[in-house]
C-alpha cells in the first residue's frame, strides 16, 4: 500500500540531490579563473543530461536488476522495460519504484561530475564525454550494484549509508588518476575568481546533502532524523576545524577554508550518517577537518595539480568516513547496520577496509587506463594555445564575463 508520507519525503529528497549538481557547478565555477568558468560548469550540467540518458538506457538495470557474478546487474530493465508506474518498493518503504529510480539517478549524475574539478582547464570536451560514459559503465554502475544492488560487497556485509565508497572514494581516486595522467596546467591561475560563487555552491551542496544522506533511509523514521542531524553536525565541526587549521598554519581565518572544510565534513559523514551516534558525528567532523586539510597540504607539497582538491576532500574524506564507520557503527542506533570495531566487531572494520581499498585501487587504475585509451582515439588534453586563451572561448565559443 502506498505510503504518501514516505513518497512525499523521497520526492523532496530526490529534488535536493538534483540541486547538488548545479551547486557543484557553482562551487567549481567560482574556484577557477574567469576564462574557464563555463567549461567547468558545463561539465557538471552536461552530466545531468547525458547521465540521465544512460540511466534510462541501461544504468538503472545494470545497478538494480538481477545479478551477474555479484559484480553487475543485467539488462532486464534496460530502457525501463517491464517497469510500471504502479510498481512499489516493499514495506517498510512503500514508495513507488519510479521514485527510487529517480532518486538513484541523481546520485549517478553528481558522482562523475565530482571528478572534473581535478583536471579543470586541461581536458577537451569530446574526450570528457567519452570518459564520462565509460566511467559510469565500468566503475560507477558496478559499484552501485556491488554495494547497494544486492552484489558481492553487500552480501559480504559491507555498509555504505549514502555513498562513501560508491560516490566519494571512487570519484576521488579517479580524480587523482586523471591528475597524474593529464599532467599540470601550463597556465597558472591567480586563484579563485569568485569566492562568493564558491559560497553559493557550498550552500546549495550543503542544503542538497540533507536529501543525499537523510533520503538514503528511503523512508521517514528515527534513522532519517539521525542521518539529517549527523550530516549538519559533521559539516559544521569540520568547517570550524578547517578554519582553525588555516588560522594556525596560514595565519588568517580563511573563508574559502571554512567552505572547503564543510564539504570535507559532508563527504566524510556520508557513509556513516545513518549508522553512528551524534557524538561520533562530531568526532568525524573534527577528524575530517584535520585529515583532509593535511591531505591537501601534502598534495601541495608533492605538487600534484589537483586543481580543486577533489582527491583531498572527496577521495580522502570518503575513505576516512568508510573506515570510521568500521570503527564506530552501532546497532543501538540502527538495527539494520552493524557493530564496529569499538563495539566488539573487528571483522566489520576489516570488511570496510578491504572494500574501500579495493574500490579505490580499481577506480584509480581503470580511470588512468581509460584516459590512456581515450587519448588514442581523441586527444584528451587541450593544446597550449587553447589553454592560454581559456577553455570557455577556445572550446565553447562563449564567455562568462563579456568585456566592452
Residue position matching grid coordinates 552493524 = 338
What pLDDT does residue 156 have? 97
Rounded CA separation 328/343 (Å): 7
Is residue 269 in some structural domain? yes
Per DSSP, the three-state class of 357 is: helix
The residues facing 381 across adjacent strands are: 123
Q: Please report, for the domain that includes residue 117, its CATH number.
A: 1.10.3430.10
What pLDDT does residue 278 have? 98
Is residue 175 in some structural domain? yes
- Name the pLDDT band for 191 (thresholds 50, 70, 90): confident
Is residue 59 in some structural domain? yes
Is residue 403 in some structural domain? no
What pLDDT does residue 190 have? 82
Beta strands in 221-289 (DSSP E): none
**228 has a pLDDT exceeding 80:** yes
**CA dist list (Å): 119 to 37, 55, 125, 137:** 13, 25, 12, 21
Is residue 9 in some structural domain? yes
Share of the chain above pLDDT 70, in %: 100
- Domain range for 330: 4-396
pLDDT mean over 327-342: 97
Alpha helix ranges (H) inside 270-345: 278-302, 310, 316-328
Q: State the cell numbers at 15.
A: 529534488
Residue position matching grid coordinates 556520508 = 270
Neighbours of 276 (CB within 10 A): 29
- Name the pLDDT band for 189 (thresholds 50, 70, 90): confident
Rounded CA separation 316/169 (Å): 7
What pLDDT does residue 404 have? 52
Is residue 380 in some structural domain? yes
- Name the pLDDT band for 114 (thresholds 50, 70, 90): very high
Is residue 404 in some structural domain? no
Question: How do residues 261-282 score in pLDDT, each as one tens digit?
Answer: 999 999 999 999 999 999 999 9
For the chain, the domain total comes to 1
What pLDDT does residue 74 have? 97
Residues in the chain: 404
- What average pLDDT does the chain have? 96
- Name the pLDDT band for 301 (thresholds 50, 70, 90): very high
Is residue 287 in some structural domain? yes
Q: Which DSSP symbol is given to 123? A: B
Amino acid at each position: 500500500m502506498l505510503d504518501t508520507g514516505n513518497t512525499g519525503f523521497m520526492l523532496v529528497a530526490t529534488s535536493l540531490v538534483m540541486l547538488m549538481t548545479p551547486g557543484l557547478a557553482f562551487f567549481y565555477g567560482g574556484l577557477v579563473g574567469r576564462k574557464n568558468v563555463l567549461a567547468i560548469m558545463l561539465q557538471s550540467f552536461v552530466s545531468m543530461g547525458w547521465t540521465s540518458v544512460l540511466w534510462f538506457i541501461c544504468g538503472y538495470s545494470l545497478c538494480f536488476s538481477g545479478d551477474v557474478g555479484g559484480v553487475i546487474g543485467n539488462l532486464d530493465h534496460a530502457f525501463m522495460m517491464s517497469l510500471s508506474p504502479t510498481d512499489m518498493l516493499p514495506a517498510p518503504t512503500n514508495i513507488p519504484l519510479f521514485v527510487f529510480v529517480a532518486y538513484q539517478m541523481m546520485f549517478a549524475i553528481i558522482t562523475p561530475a565530482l571528478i572534473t574539478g581535478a583536471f579543470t582547464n586541461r581536458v577537451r570536451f569530446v574526450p570528457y564525454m567519452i570518459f564520462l560514459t565509460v566511467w559510469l559503465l565500468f566503475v560507477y554502475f558496478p559499484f552501485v550494484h556491488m554495494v547497494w544492488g544486492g552484489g558481492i560487497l553487500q552480501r559480504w556485509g559491507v555498509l555504505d549509508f549514502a555513498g562513501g565508497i560508491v560516490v566519494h572514494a571512487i570519484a576521488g581516486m579517479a580524480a587523482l588518476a586523471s591528475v597524474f595522467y593529464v599532467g599540470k596546467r601550463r597556465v597558472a591561475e591567480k586563484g579563485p575568481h569568485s569566492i562568493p560563487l564558491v559560497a553559493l555552491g557550498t550552500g546549495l551542496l550543503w542544503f542538497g546533502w540533507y536529501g543525499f544522506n537523510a533520503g538514503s533511509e528511503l523512508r521517514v523514521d528515527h534513522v532519517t532524523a539521525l542521518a539529517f542531524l549527523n550530516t549538519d553536525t559533521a559539516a559544521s565541526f569540520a568547517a570550524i576545524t578547517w578554519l582553525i587549521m588555516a588560522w594556525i598554519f596560514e595565519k588568517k581565518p580563511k573563508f574559502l577554508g571554512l567552505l572547503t572544510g564543510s564539504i570535507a565534513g559532508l563527504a566524510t559523514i556520508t557513509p556513516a550518517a545513518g549508522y553512528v551516534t551524534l557524538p561520533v558525528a562530531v568526532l568525524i567532523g573534527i577528524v575530517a577537518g584535520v585529515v583532509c586539510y593535511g591531505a591537501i597540504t601534502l598534495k601541495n607539497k608533492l605538487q600534484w595539480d589537483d586543481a580543486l582538491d577533489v582527491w583531498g576532500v572527496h577521495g580522502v574524506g570518503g575513505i576516512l568516513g568508510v573506515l570510521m564507520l568500521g570503527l564506530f557503527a552501532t546497532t543501538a542506533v540502527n538495527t539494520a547496520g552493524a557493530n564496529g570495531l569499538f563495539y566488539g566487531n573487528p571483522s566489520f572494520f576489516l570488511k570496510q577496509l578491504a572494500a574501500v581499498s579495493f574500490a579505490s585501487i580499481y577506480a584509480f587504475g581503470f580511470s588512468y587506463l581509460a584516459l590512456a585509451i581515450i587519448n588514442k582515439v581523441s586527444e584528451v588534453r587541450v593544446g597550449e594555445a587553447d589553454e592560454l586563451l581559456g577553455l570557455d572561448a577556445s572550446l565553447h565559443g562563449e564567455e562568462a564575463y563579456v568585456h566592452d
